[in-house]
A = this chain, B = another copy of it.
Amino acid sequence: MTNAPNIDGWTCPLPLRDQPNILIGHGGGGKLSAELIEHLFYPAFANHLLQARGDSAVLALAGERLAFTTDSFVVRPLFFPGGSIGDLAVNGTVNDLAMMGARPLYLSAGFILEEGLPIATLGGVVERMGAAARVAGVQIVAGDTKVVERGHGDGVYINTSGIGVIPPGVQIAPELARPGDMVLASGTLGDHGMAILSVREGLEFETVIQSDCAPLHGLVEALLAAAPGVRVLRDATRGGAAAALNEIARASGIGVVIDERKLPVNPATAAACELLGMDPLHVANEGKLVAFVPPDQAEAALAALRAHELGAQAAIIGTVVEAHPGVLVGRTGIGGSRVIDTQVGEQLPRIC
């Protein structure tokens, strides 16, 4: 069988070589993003640490394993139900560290401000960042501010980079999933993306959909204590759970089968998705992870997730199979099945 990632590379509707300009979708975490990474960034920066494709790079320094990661945030609006760009900037990077099993310690914060931004708005964003850092137990220890002219930014863009320490014995990486592993989701899917979309488009539903933005390292710590054999963790941000599961399927060279009836989805999010023709599997989360766990530890893992306030609605959603390596298959409610691909771009631009 031909290697799946290559097929994707060549059959993508808008491959790099035929598309001379950057599209919004290049930032969507889907196939266009993957093409940029594969064909442009990897060749230029060539090194095995970058190409490990983890949510953080793992650095061996002074006998410790450090996790190191970076993320830029361009979400609009700056404030939304359940969070702000400041909360995202802290929790997004904390979560990238947590997905390697690391204890997050230190963050940097780089601001690109647009001329004319009310200082009070910046103050509100920065206050939320500080509060989120305190909740997550991390320190923001380095910073930088640049200002661009009116019409060359959008209020505030924030980059955070983070450093964490991976405890001895923890071995989590996207290529470690094995046939037989159980796939868990830590809670309801699609809430962040639908919260942003609702407020941006002025949609009104009966219930205000809240972003799930939260720091996940406490949940990961509880999970690892109960199920030390956890093989892969990924937070299901841009591209949603479908993108995360596809990436893992490709990195590990295994197939993933999920039971779509078991996917936890908030009723309000489900209703909004149905109304708008969107699939919660493709919608971004900012406080949910998927975990690949050896079968004998799956029940303990589920119990540990459910015992944590951020994992109360966790569920076993699928299994790893030897068949169809690199491909995610969903079993539907009516007994059929479908291939669930990564999207080309992003249903919702600038959601983080």
Contact surface of A with B, Cβ cutoff 8 Å: 16, 19-28, 33, 36-37, 40-41, 44-47, 49-50, 56-57, 59, 61-64, 66, 68-74, 105-106, 108-120, 122-123, 126-127, 129-130, 133, 139-149, 151-154, 157, 159, 161, 163, 165, 349-350
CB pair A119 B72 closer than 8 Å: no
- Chain A's interface: helix, strand, loop or mixed, by majority? mixed
| Chain B residue nearest to A28 in the complex (CB) | B147
Residues of B within 8 A of A117 (CB): 21-22
Residues of B within 8 A of A140 (CB): 45, 47, 50
CB pair A349 B110 closer than 8 Å: no
CB pair B59 A62 closer than 8 Å: no
> With the chains together, A63 CA to B149 CA distance in Å?
44
Contact of A70 among B66, B127, B144, B152 (CB under 8 A): B144
CB pair B50 A130 closer than 8 Å: no
For this chain, the copies found in one complex come to: 2
**Residue in A21, A59, A161 whose Cβ sees the most chain B Cβ within 10 Å:** A161
Q: A26-B145, A141-B57, A151-B151 are in contact. Are A72 and B112 (CB under 8 A)?
A: yes
Other CB < 8 Å A-B pairs besides A26-B145, A46-B130, A71-B144, 11 of them? A22-B116, A28-B147, A44-B130, A47-B141, A49-B141, A50-B140, A68-B142, A70-B109, A74-B112, A146-B350, A152-B152
> With the chains together, A21 CA to B116 CA distance in Å?
5
Contact of A74 among B70, B146, B154 (CB under 8 A): B146
CB pair A139 B50 closer than 8 Å: yes
Residues of B within 8 A of A46 (CB): 130
Residues of B within 8 A of A57 (CB): 106, 108, 141-142
Residues of B within 8 A of A19 (CB): 119
Contact of A119 among B20, B50, B130 (CB under 8 A): B20
Residues of B within 8 A of A41 (CB): 109, 126, 143, 145
